Structure 1
Amino acid sequence: MRTTLLLSMLMLVTVGFSQTTVNGKVVDQNDQPIPGANVVIVNKTIGTVTDFDGFFTLETSEVPPFQLRITSLGYSDGSANVAENNETLTIVLSEAQTFLDEVVISASRTPERIFESPVSVERFGIKDIKNASSASFYGGLENLKGVDINTSSLTFQSLNTRGFAAVDNSRFVQLVDGMDNSSPALNFALGNLVGMNELDVQSVEILPGASSALYGANAFNGILFMRSKSPFDFQGISVYGKTGFTSQEAAGDNSYYDIGIRVAHAFNDKFAVKANFSILEGTDWFAVNEEDLSIPGADRSNPAYNGLNVFGDEVAIPIDFDAATGFPSGTLGSAVVSRTGYAEQDLTDYGAQSVKFDGALHYRPFGDDFEIIYNGRIGRGSTIFHGASRYYIDDFILQQHKLEFKNNNFFLRGYITSENAGNSYDMRFTGININNRWKSNTQWFGDYVATFAGAKLGVGTGVLLDDEAAHAAARQAADTGRLVPGTPQFQNAFNAVISDGDLATGSRFIDNTKLSHIDANYNFSHLTKNFADIQVGGSFREYVLNSQGTIFTDLDGSIPYKEFGLYTQIQKQFLDERLKFTGSIRYDKNEFFDGFLSPRASLAYTAGSKRNHNFRASFQTGFRNPTTQDLFIGLDLGNVILVGSAPDNLEKRTFSVTNNNTGNTGVFVPRDTYENSFSKSSVNAFRASNFADTSLLEAGNPDPITPEQISAFELGYRGQIGKFTIDLSGYYNTFQDFIATERVIVTFSKDETNLQASATEIRNGDSQEFQAYTNSTANVNSYGATLGVNTRILGNFDLGVNYTFADFDFDEASDPDFRPGFNTPKHKVKASFGNEELFKNFGFNVNYRWSDAFFWQASFADGDVPAYTVLDAQINYSIPKIKSVFKIGGSNLLANEYFTAVGTGLVGSIYYLSWTINP
């Protein structure tokens, strides 16, 4: 009896501690491996993840039989029964029939299906990257509904949603693994110039519209999230290579290549590492538009000629030739005269480059429940930046370093961002100061006046020339000996100017600005799930501006300032989990302004017997802090001086301006812009009266800037109707204290109360134009809608069509100087058609985009952007034996060159061949 009992107990112990091992492979319907798929025992927390080749090994003390549940983004859930130990399984997952099943994190800071998201959200995943017909995955984002991309150059694309966009778009936030990828000094992201290697992209999510309730200041027009692959889930070596050429009428055909590699390895279940490297080189789009900005439609015979992509001719003064030469009034007349400028292609080599490296260490000391991550990123690039001027960003470096602690319920991360402008320079000042190094403005205009007077009076020839011929003779004489591009003399002057950081004599801009950021979030849902899902979080940020006076008013030292925020969110489901309420509120404080509360509330209802219809309504508020430039810029662009309005900025810098015609000098501080100015519109009206009606002059004196606010209302529907998936949304936004710039005129005497004296100064040119950063008093509203329809036709062909409408209105009479800069087409239509498996291992995709004409308004130049049509396409072929995908594609195959911002180069075509190993 004792022996029997002992044997029974031993058998129980053996069974209790036996190990069950299950091996398997997860593939799709085409027998392609699915990496990163979750394999979990049903009703247990025990599981594993497939490796890069789709294989998994699950070891458990669970005794068969039991069931496995297999899930992966973009695929329908699968299951498998385990009947015995050491069983080997092959599980096939079918591609999800609708994008609505895909999981997003950004909308609520917690995983949820797009179908259930409380607000609009767009997703671009691994499958979309593979099928992208654009030359880069980042360019492929333009095919998403409601998304605009303004192309400044080959390697710099600026993303935006819902209007009020510029190339330097500070209204839109871009996060890379939780880190703000914006330039700390410029407050906007330089596209993917120093962003993420496409081999490492797990997913991209875009939240259109205000997102301040969860993400704080500046998540105003929208926010983009790029999430990278974990080295635990995606291991091995991946490589891609792209080569081809760009084609543009102005630039011709130029070679292009893009190479990248990703290496990831998990040494065990606790420690994993990864590293990514990529390099892209090509030739930028040439900008050769020489349209006259001073008199649109005029030719170069205009003495005040100011070409769009010509620099140096911004230096212009009104000349009273009679007063200058001592002749009686009416003898020679007067005119505005500009110096002769240099074409943009003479001031840059249009070399485009993007070099990116990042590495990460992942450590899980207690298993999957807790992870410590160090991530370091560094990017270097050369590109054309299109802002207040045209800038050649040469050897620009941005680096980020992050330390993060996280588990399924919380994260705590801190990171620093620093940048170095390298050898970057302003093309406008390059042209201006090459001219000045050859001949001063005083001497040049003096030569011009003397020759013009002589030509009009026939001195030395006896022939009296008309105005046009006299101006031509005067310019020719004043330009005698001018430095000619391509000569050693010009090159020497060019090199000296672009290496000089003093904008009075050079054009280089210096930027060593830094940003430090900490944010945290805790999700209490594991504790409060019987009541509701509750989250709390917060962030702290500090800027340290350092441009040595080339951008900001920091000649006497760097400028630090801080901001912080706190938020909470609650989600609760009712009515058999059909009705979902989401509410959140955030408090933010910038040290220069009062604190601001931004609440959000939404309701989503799932209808239908199959729960395949979801209706949502949301109200949310947002705010936008003034940017670093809005607060502390102090930049003399020659024709206009930009001055920020932070309280500490109003006396931080002195600007000295000399009138080359009268010899008088004005000395200004930023405060004069806000306290001693005339509105530009009233000065223009005074000039139009031929300087006769002084009563037209009105004080400008804009108020110093404060945060901008938005109230956003949105209705939406997502659903499955037969074979069609539909995503429809509409929004209406109202703005308060809309951040804007205002042009004003300050006279040398700085006394706007003395109209007669000021009128004389304006008439003589003893005045200076300033750009103030302020808030509009106008009532501004924007509204729009998007509709996306996706289906499968003819078996397994994917077809998608989407339409976007966007418009705005404002009370122009209440603020005639307000420049809204909506910069978005009213109508956009996009379509895609493709098949991942047209026949074995062969697929294709075609993307079509049409954009309506719209008016572009920005500090560099205003003008119409014509409607344009773009067609991209690619074919791809997979060879599973060598784990490779080959792709041939092209962007803008119709070769209809177009532009999205006035003053940029026309976007031509890109043709490429790519080879990706272990995609």
Structure 2
Amino acid sequence: MKKILPLFLLFICGLTHGQTIVSGTVVDDANLPIPGANIIVVGAAVGTVTDFDGKFILNYTKNPPFSIQASSVGFETVTKAVTTNNETINFILIEGTALDEVVISASRTPERIFESPVTVERIGLKEIKNTASADFYDGLENLKGVDVNTNSLTFKSVNTRGFATFSNNRFMQLVDGMDNSTPALNFPIGNLVGMTETDVLSVELLPGASSALYGANAFNGILFMRSKNPFEYEGLSASIKRGVTSQEASGTNPYTDLSIRAAHKFSEKFAAKFNFGYLEGTDWAATSEVDRNMEAGTRETNLNYNGINVYGDEVSQNLKQVAILLESAINPATGQPYLPAGASTLAPSVQVSRTGYNEKYLTNNEAKSIKADWGLYYRPFENDFEVSYVGKVGTGTTIYQGLNRYYIDNFFQEQHKIEFRNKNFFLRTYLVADKAGDSYDMVFTGININRAWKPDLNWFAEYAGTYVLSTLGGANDAQAHAAARAQAETGRFEPGTPEYIAAFNKSINDPDLLTGSKFQDASKYYHTDGNYNFSELIKFAEIQVGGSYRKYSLNSFGTIYTDYDGSIDYFEYGMYTQIQKNLELNESLDLKLTGSVRYDKSEFFDGFFSPRISAGLTLNKNHNFRASVQTGFRNPTTQDLFIGLDANRAILVGSAPTNLDRYSGDYNVSGSGQIGGQPSVITQTGAAAYNNSYSEASVLAYQASGDVNDLVVSNPDLIKPEQVTSAEIGYRGKLKSLTIDFSAYFNSYKDFIAQEYVVAPLYGQVGDNSLSIDALNRGDDVTYNAYTNSKAAVNSYGASIGVSTKVFGDFDLGANYTFAKLDFDQEKYPDFTTNFNTPEHKFKATFGNTNVFKNLGFNIAYRFSDDYYWESTFGNGLIPEYHVVDAQVNYTIPCFKSTFKLGATNLLGDEYYTAYGTGFIGSMYYLSWTINNL
């Protein structure tokens, strides 16, 4: 296989011969080979890795003596001297604990987890190989303190410590230093266009605020994914996974996951790699018909029915208001009003909604991900100074749930990075760009299929007219409503008919939400960041400095943002420094002090300082106590600032000062000329949401009571950055074979970024108790969703503990528990939603053995989640508690360099869901074959 790699990569290999050759093996203390172990020359950027049998051959251009070092994740590092050419050196590595693993994310410099100043979670090659989840990304849900919310089969959202929805812009995801957030949405979309499993080296996760080192978006935590460098990991690897997904709603369907990695070191100066991944399956079908307005009931029991996964029924009108209009509107066929004068008194003041279409008629539930990346790596001096270019492309099909449910079809994202680095510094610049492909909004698809066969005005007019005439004819209320709906539904397009298919196709290809549902975007951002470590120049402490710059270029063609006349560009930048000092107080007591501070500035807001101080005390080399205090912040997102979207339920208007008047709409006025001489059509801009509005809750209260004193002027402030102050304490320790990792935190938020529903009258000034009241009474108003900051005090606190040990000789047993609590006075602020969205109690456990018999291993993972309440713009609802068991057994055949894995997720078959409105998560059964020719 190695002979064909140069042809596979389309390069010509110039072979070089070292002056010294060292060979040998690397095994563990049970004499089992350790494949993929790193062998490096101490003090030089020269090395290799062991093959599947634990064997290695190292070429070095200098003569002995020198030293080589063997290391592998989960094992203690061993160094040995090389004294002669052609020497054979064998290593035996002793297995360590998770606390001995080295991380980079916590302080931007290598250090053991044991000594990290803040909480860190990590998975490496061993954990990836043995995960009981379907892949490494799904395996994150077994980590302590981590929430993984399943949006769809191929889109899962990672979060820590609460306050997140699927549009999780509080959490950052980095792949080899590149932000994986989509420019259009401003948040990561899971691993849809991310890394292939065969190229993953390690995954690190920092829970909680990390703004001091990583800037504004590192507010709730950061996920770091690192790939394998072809200088250290060359060869051909492949993995094929075949199986089925099983769900009551969608049945049993095939599932395929394929990944290929090819890497080659042509010389000590040049190496390259290529990765390809392909995944295809059937998504978890969302089929809930529960009425969002009543949390129970059906179309037959609620005139204003709005099913969770039924779309088109979001459109509703007040029956009395429609009847009033019909009294004054002239029927062109007769020249007379549609209804006689006074007939509207027979119409009740109730909301009536159109009949919608179930989600299953608006999507084929296909889930697909295709991704590729490549990298060229150059070390001009044959040392650790490296120049690299990395390119990534990905396309996929998935379901995203935000304000509505979106079918993300043929979504495309690309990234290109150039980086210069050595062990003391890095400087990288990269571009991230996306295209929406054939994506569309399923809610608006349902709405506009309805409008294609009968416009809203006609439908409600027929309903109201029939209701009134039926009542005049002696029908009771139920009979009149039944007759009205039957009349209004005349001509409805039934799913599967040619008329329905034509209307569906027209809608998903039309970007105008008044008539279509196509999601358009071609946004991008440019990012540059760098860091320098002065440890080799300054000895009294480790000092680092760094900074970043980002420029956004939003281009949704006016369909999401107010970029009607061209792209919207804006920038933000930041700079930071960190000082870290180790103090050896005595033979058994070490103190590690870390201080960092970062300054960030957005084009639209004042600059902000976010400091962090931490201390770690190590006692007898086996016990570490840590404490830290830091502040964090997050800038308003691109949507918070520049969105301009009529989402039917409300109009979303971002609150950047330049955005308020960019969004405008023309609205028909009822009874024009009769109320203060109002024109028949009024143009209102988004600024009305912020300077002439009532709170929606108070308008609803007024409509129910008729008391103007119930009305509350809203006029929300323009948005500004959100801040958090976070304090954390923790302990890590070893008690013989038992390792413990404990942490507790308290977060206090200021200027919590929130969205507020407001109602702006088309005429009059709020609070005037005259024209604005008349506008509300006649339905001459517009509902907006405004982006602002809450005045409410929001706090949260929690704790987590993880333990691991060996039982029954060589079996691995681990367990962790997480507690999370929201501290917020909901009674004082009834209209404010925090979107805390995390269970109060979580428990997870794993049990397994990598070598229960020769070459045979297994792992079982269990997860429990307490019930919790989910809040989002799509809807709110209770998430019941759930228990999940995943399991796998694997067998390695060294002579074929292959590992076979038989696994199942949700083995118990109890379907569950992690967010309101999504499909139930079923089971997956699979068999995988992984080949590692390293």
**TM exceeds 0.5?**
yes
> Which segment drifts farther, 834-843 or 70-79?
70-79
> Once the 2 structures are TM-superposed, how far is the Cα of residue 469 of structure 1 from its aligned partner?
2.5
- Matches of 2:719 and 2:600, distance apart in 1: 17
Unmatched 5+ residue regions in structure 2? 1-17, 327-338, 673-678
Alpha-carbon deviations, 1:344-400, whole Å to 9, x = none? 111111111000100000000011221001000000000000000000000000000
Residue of structure 2 aligned with 1:409, choices 424, 433, 442: 424
Question: Contact 2:670 / 2:780 at 8 angstroms: preserved in 1?
Answer: no
Q: Do residues 616 (structure 1) and 629 (structure 2) align?
A: no
Which amino acid is the alignment partner of residue 847 of structure 1?
A
Q: Secondary structure of the equivalent of 1:647?
A: coil
Q: Do residues 796 (structure 1) and 797 (structure 2) align?
A: no
- Change in Cα spacing, 1:328 to 1:583, as seen in structure 2 (3 Å) is same
> Once the 2 structures are TM-superposed, how far is the Cα of residue 814 of structure 1 from its aligned partner?
5.4
Question: Contact 1:886 / 1:915 at 8 angstroms: preserved in 2?
Answer: yes
Alpha-carbon deviations, 1:719-763, whole Å to 9, x = none? 001211000000000011000011111112152132233333223
Name the residue aligned to 2:319: 319
> Which segment drifts farther, 292-301 or 820-829?
292-301
> Once the 2 structures are TM-superposed, how far is the Cα of residue 19 of structure 1 from its aligned partner?
5.6
- Change in Cα spacing, 1:291 to 1:488, as seen in structure 2 (3 Å) is same
Q: Do residues 870 (structure 1) and 884 (structure 2) align?
A: yes
Q: Secondary structure of the equivalent of 1:473?
A: helix
Alpha-carbon deviations, 1:284-304, whole Å to 9, x = none? 111111111122223212221
Name the residue aligned to 1:655: 665
Question: Contact 1:441 / 1:660 at 8 angstroms: preserved in 2?
Answer: no
Q: Secondary structure of the equivalent of 2:293?
A: coil
Residue of structure 2 aligned with 1:646, choices 643, 656, 667: 656
Which amino acid is the alignment partner of residue 38 of structure 1?
I
Question: Contact 2:467 / 2:483 at 8 angstroms: preserved in 1?
Answer: yes
Q: Do residues 397 (structure 1) and 406 (structure 2) align?
A: no
Q: Pairwise mapping of residues 209-248 of structure 1 onto structure 2 (< 5 A)? A: 209-248=208-247
Q: Secondary structure of the equivalent of 1:334?
A: coil
Alpha-carbon deviations, 1:447-481, whole Å to 9, x = none? 111221232232xxxxx332223212211111111
Name the residue aligned to 1:755: 769
Question: Contact 2:542 / 2:581 at 8 angstroms: preserved in 1?
Answer: yes
- Matches of 2:433 and 2:51, distance apart in 1: 34
> Once the 2 structures are TM-superposed, how far is the Cα of residue 134 of structure 1 from its aligned partner?
1.1
Name the residue aligned to 1:73: 73
Q: Pairwise mapping of residues 448-463 of structure 1 onto structure 2 (< 5 A)? A: 448-458=463-473
Q: Do residues 433 (structure 1) and 448 (structure 2) align?
A: yes
Q: Do residues 600 (structure 1) and 623 (structure 2) align?
A: no
- Matches of 1:495 and 1:30, distance apart in 2: 63
RMSD over aligned CA atoms reads 1.8
Question: Contact 2:26 / 2:50 at 8 angstroms: preserved in 1?
Answer: no
Q: Secondary structure of the equivalent of 2:90?
A: strand
Alpha-carbon deviations, 1:592-640, whole Å to 9, x = none? 00000000000000002xx100000000111000000000000101121
- Change in Cα spacing, 1:750 to 1:212, as seen in structure 2 (3 Å) is farther
- Matches of 2:821 and 2:741, distance apart in 1: 20
- Matches of 1:386 and 1:191, distance apart in 2: 13
Name the residue aligned to 2:498: 488
Residue of structure 1 aligned with 2:583, choices 571, 574, 584: 574
Q: Do residues 852 (structure 1) and 851 (structure 2) align?
A: no
> Which segment drifts farther, 655-664 or 750-759?
655-664
Name the residue aligned to 2:304: 304
Which amino acid is the alignment partner of residue 638 of structure 1?
N
TM-score (normalised: structure 1): 0.94
- Matches of 2:141 and 2:779, distance apart in 1: 46
Residue of structure 1 aligned with 2:857, choices 843, 850, 853: 843
Residue of structure 2 aligned with 1:697, choices 695, 711, 721: 711
> Once the 2 structures are TM-superposed, how far is the Cα of residue 51 of structure 1 from its aligned partner?
4.7
Name the residue aligned to 2:833: 819
Name the residue aligned to 1:588: 600
Name the residue aligned to 1:12: none
- Change in Cα spacing, 1:48 to 1:495, as seen in structure 2 (3 Å) is same
Which amino acid is the alignment partner of residue 628 of structure 1?
T
- Change in Cα spacing, 1:909 to 1:88, as seen in structure 2 (3 Å) is same
Q: Secondary structure of the equivalent of 1:289?
A: coil
Report sequence identity in percent: 56
Which amino acid is the alignment partner of residue 613 of structure 2?
A
- Matches of 1:388 and 1:178, distance apart in 2: 30
Q: Pairwise mapping of residues 75-474 of structure 1 onto structure 2 (< 5 A)? A: 75-80=75-80, 82=82, 84-96=84-96, 98-301=97-300, 302-320=302-320, 323=324, 324=326, 325=339, 326-327=341-342, 330-458=345-473, 464-474=474-484
- Matches of 2:599 and 2:697, distance apart in 1: 38
- Matches of 1:331 and 1:69, distance apart in 2: 89
Q: Secondary structure of the equivalent of 1:476?
A: helix
Q: Do residues 683 (structure 1) and 699 (structure 2) align?
A: yes
- Change in Cα spacing, 1:95 to 1:750, as seen in structure 2 (3 Å) is farther
Which amino acid is the alignment partner of residue 156 of structure 2?
Q
- Matches of 2:727 and 2:376, distance apart in 1: 42
Residue of structure 1 aligned with 2:741, choices 718, 727, 750: 727
Q: Secondary structure of the equivalent of 1:525?
A: coil
Residue of structure 2 aligned with 1:561, choices 570, 577, 586: 570
- Change in Cα spacing, 1:639 to 1:356, as seen in structure 2 (3 Å) is same
> Which segment drifts farther, 769-778 or 71-80?
71-80
> Once the 2 structures are TM-superposed, how far is the Cα of residue 194 of structure 1 from its aligned partner?
0.3
Residue of structure 1 aligned with 2:635, choices 625, 643, 651: 625
Question: Contact 1:445 / 1:660 at 8 angstroms: preserved in 2?
Answer: no
Which amino acid is the alignment partner of residue 823 of structure 2?
D
> Which segment drifts farther, 859-868 or 677-686?
677-686
Name the residue aligned to 1:507: 517
Question: Contact 1:258 / 1:280 at 8 angstroms: preserved in 2?
Answer: yes
TM-score (normalised: structure 2): 0.93
Q: Secondary structure of the equivalent of 2:129?
A: helix
Question: Contact 1:281 / 1:353 at 8 angstroms: preserved in 2?
Answer: yes
- Matches of 2:225 and 2:390, distance apart in 1: 14
- Change in Cα spacing, 1:800 to 1:664, as seen in structure 2 (3 Å) is farther
Which amino acid is the alignment partner of residue 534 of structure 1?
I
Question: Contact 1:619 / 1:712 at 8 angstroms: preserved in 2?
Answer: yes
Question: Contact 2:289 / 2:298 at 8 angstroms: preserved in 1?
Answer: no
Question: Contact 2:646 / 2:652 at 8 angstroms: preserved in 1?
Answer: yes
Q: Pairwise mapping of residues 668-679 of structure 1 onto structure 2 (< 5 A)? A: 668-679=684-695
- Change in Cα spacing, 1:757 to 1:722, as seen in structure 2 (3 Å) is same
Alpha-carbon deviations, 1:676-702, whole Å to 9, x = none? 00011211221231xx21111111100
Q: Secondary structure of the equivalent of 2:658?
A: helix
